[in-house]
Amino acid sequence: MTGRAAAPAAVIAGIGRYLPPDVVTNDDLAARLDTSDEWIRSRTGIASRRVIAPGVTTSDLAVEAGRRALASAGGGDAEAVVLATTTPDQPCPATAPLVADRLGLGGVAAFDVSSVCSGFLYGLATAAGLIASGTTENVLLIAADAFTTIIDPADRSTAVIFADGAGAVLLRSGRPNEPGAVGRVVLGSDGSLGGLIEVPAGGARQRSSGVAAEPGEEFFRMRGRETFRHAVGRMTESSRTALAAAGWDGPLAADRFAAHQANGRILTAVAEELGIPPERRLSNIERTGNTGAASLAVLLAEATARGELAAGHKTLLTAFGGGLAWGATALLWPELKTVDD
């Protein structure tokens, strides 16, 4: 009796990133907020961040990153587009179909995934499932956020952290044991703590209440101290589970550690909890800030372009965000070329 054939794996075949050209430094923020370069650096690890110009949208960022991921893979099409974002161009319809159309992929399956800063890993699991089920042969996964559109510019606690950007990977059908193959993606959530990271107004709950939103409730809010504790714990825990699922012998088996670029202190705390030495940690938060769902994808693309992440590196990925939601996975990094224009 013939055994059942193994399901195909989703394999990373291309990667791309796009950051808007406008740079906002800590000194720029200090000129209008009660803060300083030293205060921001010491608490967040951020020196500058990229922001969109007026009129630029999440779809604009996503299209640029997606185009580069397709070019990185040698060109061609994708049979599906998954967009991870917290800042869609409109509440309805989803932004992914527009992105697909602008990329010349009109007619393919396209939808959004909303999981805030863990969106790239939730999107990765979703895209891998589409390929494993045989629904598609390849998927363009894009993570893009124009986070500055939902940040109160007068709120020192968030305005200094969040920024805009997009990253993308093209996933193709392949073998589970080849470089770039996505294995188990460990995911989790805790909705009882959703109030730690939220935009209070604008959704069905506030609208159906019949009560007008209070001033400022349309902006993103985060309770930093409590978020810090949960972020460190959940990213550490999910990372250990992902390492075990991959059959790796603990954190030191990872050649590279890539975490959602949430905050410099969080990144250091998670790496230290796992015992991963500084030379194995990938980070770009000093130059990019926290770009939400895009941050992990942007980091991977940038590290690949800079040669900090290379073929054969055992790579551990983890993220944490609103929901609360978190995730992690471990994979062998493939040979990739990057395209910037």
Please give the Cα distance from 259 to 300 (Å, whole number). 10
Selecting among 138, 263, 284, 290, the annotated active-site residue is 290
Please give the Cα distance from 80 to 136 (Å, whole number). 7
Closest alpha carbon to 117 in 300, 296, 286, 315: 296
Sequence-ordered list of residues with C-beta below 8 angstroms from that of 223, at least 6 positions apart, any chain = 195, 196, 197
Closest alpha carbon to 242 in 254, 232, 230, 233: 254
Please give the Cα distance from 90 to 57 (Å, whole number). 10
Instruction: Give the phi and the psi of residue 53 in degrees, each rounded to 5.
Output: -85, 160
Please give the Cα distance from 287 to 296 (Å, whole number). 14
Q: Got the DSSP string for 107-162?
A: TSEEEEE--GGGHHHHHHHHHHHHHHTTS-SEEEEEEEEEGGGSS-TT-HHHHTTB
- Residue with tokens 């300083």, as numbered in its chain: 36
Determine the residue type at 77: D
Please give the Cα distance from 313 to 318 (Å, whole number). 16
Query: Is 260 a catalytic site residue?
Result: yes
Query: Is 230 a catalytic site residue?
Result: no
Selecting among 26, 138, 260, 263, the annotated active-site residue is 260
Selecting among 117, 263, 284, 313, the annotated active-site residue is 117
3-state secondary structure 51-118: ECCCCCCHHHHHHHHHHHHHHHCCCCCCCEEEEECCCCCCCCCCCHHHHHHHCCCCCCEEEEECCHHH
Query: Is 313 a catalytic site residue?
Result: no
Please give the Cα distance from 160 to 163 (Å, whole number). 8
Catalytic residue positions, numbered: 117, 260, 290
